[in-house]
Chains A and B, each alone.
Chain A
Amino acid sequence: MASLRLDGVTVGYGGRTALDAVDLDVAEHEIVCVLGPSGSGKSTLLRTVAGLTEPDSGRVLLAGRDQRGVPPHRRGVGLMFQDHQLFPTRDVGGNVAFGPRMRGEPRGEVQGRVAELLEMVGLPGAQKRPVSALSGGEQQRVALARALAPSPGLLMLDEPLGQLDRSLRERLVVELRQLFRRLGTTVLAVTHDQGEAFALADRVVVMEAGRIAQTGSPVDVWLSPASEFVARFLGFTNLAAAVVRGRSADTPWGAVPVPPGAPQGPCTVLVRPAGVRLADPGEGLPCTVTARTLRGGGSSEISLLLAPEDGPELEASCPLHTAPGPGTTVSAAFDAAEVVVLPAR
């Protein structure tokens, strides 16, 4: 296994900067997930490491060696493509055997390895099946087995589970993490789905317009987004410009308590939905319930959209059985533990 280091990597496309002086380290055996919206440069990042795109400046180092001028087929990294790109003219076995065959491994050994890998991804004995007859989930597994077959020093995954339906995705992502842990694979994955990133990664890298906006463990990033962009990308909507004075902030929603030690002065305040509490009438901010959405996915929480008389709408979450119906007038109070103070816009 090898470590990866990106050193000030810049890539431009037709006058646009896809990657802007990106620095990134991935340690051996680490699983890093790059998270970002479409066009944030995350695919370019993978392609640059793979050698499919040459950086305009900066260095890519694999196991400490500069990869400038090294063609893709000599870098010893694996890449699992967004839509799998299985070879349509080969069967499952032929696809998985491709990498070892390119390395000139003896036929007998290759067959053994193919059988072992198919077993591992949960498709034992599928060697002779045509790839066109595979379901999306099965293609996914074959693509994974194919990428793992040459034992790449670094495995890269581009939106690995993007095309699968939700329940399959949630099951596979757990399986993937367990598998990579067991094999000790160094993994660099990119995705726009935070759930996938959080479930898969040891460390999450959030990208914004070709730059790295935040790096940290999934929990750290979730608990304290570094900027309004990161917060919005993670799905938070209760964000407003504010000024911190002492233990509370002046916001369009009135005074919101902030955690101890928050920097004073202008900032952006984030209130997580769990921090918007329904209080007794007269106690907090009077609001009208405008929408009520069942979250689903194993949670019995209800997401409420609240319109205050003044200021932007607020998202709150509350248990199903206590949720008020649309049109109801309620009072919203804020919980300092669920409030994050972000740098001003």
Chain B
Amino acid sequence: MDLGRREVRTGIRAGTAARLALAAVPAVFLALFFAYPVAAITARGLYDGGRWRPERIAAVLTDPDIAGVVWFTLWQAAASTVLTLLLALPGAYVMARLDFPGRRMLRAAVTVPFVLPTVVVGSAFLALLGRGGLLDQWWGVRLDTGVAAILLAHVFFNYAVVVRIVGGLWAQLDPRQEEAARVLGASRWTAWRTVTLPALVPSVAAAALMVFLFTFTSFGVVQILGGPRYATLEVEIYRQTAQLLDLPTAAVLTLLQFAAVAALMAFHSRLLRRRRTALGLVDAAGSARRPRGAGQRALLAGVLLQIAVLLLAPLAVLAERSLSGPDGYGLHHYRALGSADAAGGTFTVAPLEAVGNSLAYAATATAVALAVGVPAAVALTLRGPEGRAGRLLRGLDALLMLPLGTSAVTVGFGFLIALDAPPLDLRSSWILVPLAQALVGIPFVVRTLLPVLRAVDARLREAAAMLGASPPRVWREVDLPLVRRALLVAAGFAFAVSLGEFGATVFIARADAPTLPVAVARLLGRAGEASYGQAMALSTILMLLCAATLLALEGVRTDRSGEL
């Protein structure tokens, strides 16, 4: 009954007060630990001598060096996006529509790079393409001085984004719709072009935007592979802040990146909204078929080869380099990580301690991300009277995504500048690192939980209310059991990204308590065979930690959990 359905939408009306109270948790957190530090550092750069200096904006924007950085940021992001789509779309098709042994495992393996820290990816490509790398050793080919390495690393990173977003939808498209078109006289190609393609376009666009966003704000990969010649905005912000101490320029660049990202986000959320238009979706489990014919088998083989070369080879080489020392293979580098002076005094503590630090920080950051992200997701899914509160909540939705696109370097430096005075003097507190990492984790928590919470049938909640359950009880009894898996997935994502967070952590981690990515970067920054090998060893440890987290998640994840 159509009327009945429409009524369901209004659901149980949660009090505006309850929704705003839930929304207050993320709002206060983001105001305190995101907006305030970013505003503080921006103001530090643009407010001088008792007045604002808007002329600095024009000065920076007309600087030819900066224009070069902006141009490079844009075109490498565009090129990375196109390349990723070209390489990953066949993969998305194969994972969505073809059924073959090991499909589940492969899908998990493909996702591993996405949660890998940029530092690890940088190291892996250095090991494959760089000086003394595998290609150098075999054929004398070095790609680390060109753009190719950066682009390949970006593809490596974002392959999973396309496979997850496009493939996830593709698997749920009802194959019978294409069959209906075939029965009506369309050829296989025409049926695909007229039925499947239009349904996929929004998700391809959404995936492309995500990839563009991630590569536009790329930091670790470019920092390690770009050398002195190539810098994205984010790398340039880091250089201006940390090396040149030119805060005004850094502030202008931060604003510039912020504006670009905000525009992209707005576009993305519009696309997402359009994606919700009714598509005939089915259970993904039933839509895959065994490959038929030479064409499909060749495609499958091609995709498997591509994944092996593009995604697995760099990781394998990374592990290989970590084991190879001057006297053959061994655990030499790993053992060296155990002492503070092995790396020639770069560290005041043994690099291996970074493992413990990282795990503790990431666990705390995960707890914080859940504590902030869960109330946010619940507030966004409770239905209530529209009006000002409703608009406020929609604003919150967008606000929650912003940390993903804001310069992590800015956030990190902002923490140091803004959170150093009472009542919020956290500069010397260990909690600073998990707080910064949680900022990156929150969007993942919210994006994972939102679709699952939205998919909970409002009438199930009503059924519970009719049986005497109060609203909080309804949440505990109905929503929680249904989102428990998604909560685990959200926690895992938050843990993995916290583990790998680099841009902000590099500023605020104390010298005597480095995290894994920071330690890796420090080792890579030093010359010498030994520290190179140790960097590879530490990267391998970090890779294994992230992969283990993700594979544990694959066990509990369902196809419906999350947009990521």
Contacts and interface: CB of A to CB of B under 8 A. Distances in A.
Interface of A: 13, 18, 38-39, 41, 43-44, 47, 50, 52-54, 71-74, 76-79, 81-83, 85, 87-90, 98-99, 102-103, 146-147, 149-150, 158-159
Given A38-B2, A72-B462, A85-B459, A102 B7 contact: no
Contacts of B460: 85, 87
A82 B471 CA distance: 22
B467 A98 contact: yes
Q: For chain B, which range describes its interface: under 10, 10 to 19, 20 to 34, or 35 or more residues?
A: 20 to 34
Q: Which among B13, B467, B470 has the highest number of chain A CB atoms within 10 Å?
A: B467
A44 B6 CA distance: 10
B465 A71 contact: yes
A38 B473 CA distance: 33
Contacts, number: 94
Contacts of A72: 12, 462, 465-466
A18 B3 contact: yes
B468 A43 contact: no
Interface stretch (B167-175, B257-265, B475-483): B475-483
Given A87-B478, A88-B482, A150-B468, A81 B3 contact: no
Interface string B202-221: 00000000000000000000
A239 to B, nearest CB: 26
B10 interface: yes
B465 A73 contact: yes
Interface in B1-38: 1-4, 6-7, 10-13
Contacts of B11: 52
B398 interface: no
B104 to A, nearest CB: 22
B313 interface: no
Contact of B468 (A81, A103, A159): A103
B3 A44 contact: yes
Nearest to B469: A102
Contact of B7 (A43, A74, A90): A43
B387 to A, nearest CB: 15
Given A50-B466, A54-B13, 5 more contacts: A85-B463, A87-B477, A98-B467, A146-B467, A159-B1
A99 B467 contact: yes
A98 B464 contact: yes
Nearest to A18: B3
A99 B466 CA distance: 8
Q: Which among B13, B466, B469 has the highest number of chain A CB atoms within 10 Å?
A: B466
5 contacts: A50-B466, A52-B12, A88-B482, A90-B481, A150-B467
B420 interface: no
Contacts of A18: 3, 7
B529 interface: no
Nearest to B463: A85
B246 interface: no
Interface in B489-504: none
Contacts of B478: 87
B559 interface: no
B467 A38 contact: no
Q: Which among B6, B11, B473 has the highest number of chain A CB atoms within 10 Å?
A: B6
B457 interface: yes
A221 B30 CA distance: 64
Contact of A73 (B7, B469, B481): B469
A115 to B, nearest CB: 18
Nearest to B467: A99
Given A52-B12, A53-B7, A81-B463, A73 B470 contact: yes
A304 to B, nearest CB: 33
The 5 closest A-B pairs by CB, nearest first: A102-B468, A99-B467, A89-B481, A43-B4, A85-B463
Nearest to A83: B459
Nearest to B468: A102
B477 A81 contact: no
Contacts of B465: 52, 71-73
A44 B468 contact: no
Q: Which among A38, A71, A83, A102 has the highest number of chain B CB atoms within 10 Å?
A: A102
A98 B465 CA distance: 10
B451 to A, nearest CB: 17
Contacts of B470: 71, 73
B432 to A, nearest CB: 39
Interface in B348-374: none
B466 A89 contact: no
A44 B2 CA distance: 12
B481 A13 contact: no
B3 A43 contact: yes
Contacts of B462: 50, 52, 72, 79, 81, 85
Nearest to B470: A73
Contacts of B12: 52, 72
A39 B1 contact: yes
Contact of A78 (B2, B3, B466): B466
A242 to B, nearest CB: 34
B482 A89 contact: yes
A47 B3 contact: no
Contacts of B473: 73, 102
A79 B3 contact: no
A140 to B, nearest CB: 14
A44 B3 CA distance: 8
A90 B478 CA distance: 10
B477 A98 contact: yes
B7 A47 contact: yes
Interface string B428-472: 000000000000000000000000000001011011111111110
Contacts of A149: 467
Nearest to B460: A85
Contacts of B481: 87, 89-90
A50 B11 CA distance: 12
Nearest to B484: A89
Nearest to A16: B3
A82 B463 CA distance: 11
Interface in B507-525: none
B182 to A, nearest CB: 31
Contacts of B469: 73, 98, 102
Contacts of A90: 481
B468 A77 contact: no
Contacts of A74: 468
A39 B6 CA distance: 11
Contact of B2 (A39, A99, A103): A39
B4 A82 contact: yes
B467 A43 contact: no
A41 B477 CA distance: 30
A38 B466 contact: no
B487 to A, nearest CB: 13
Contacts of B471: 71, 73
B61 to A, nearest CB: 48
B1 A85 contact: no
Contacts of B457: 85
Contacts of A146: 467
A38 B464 contact: no
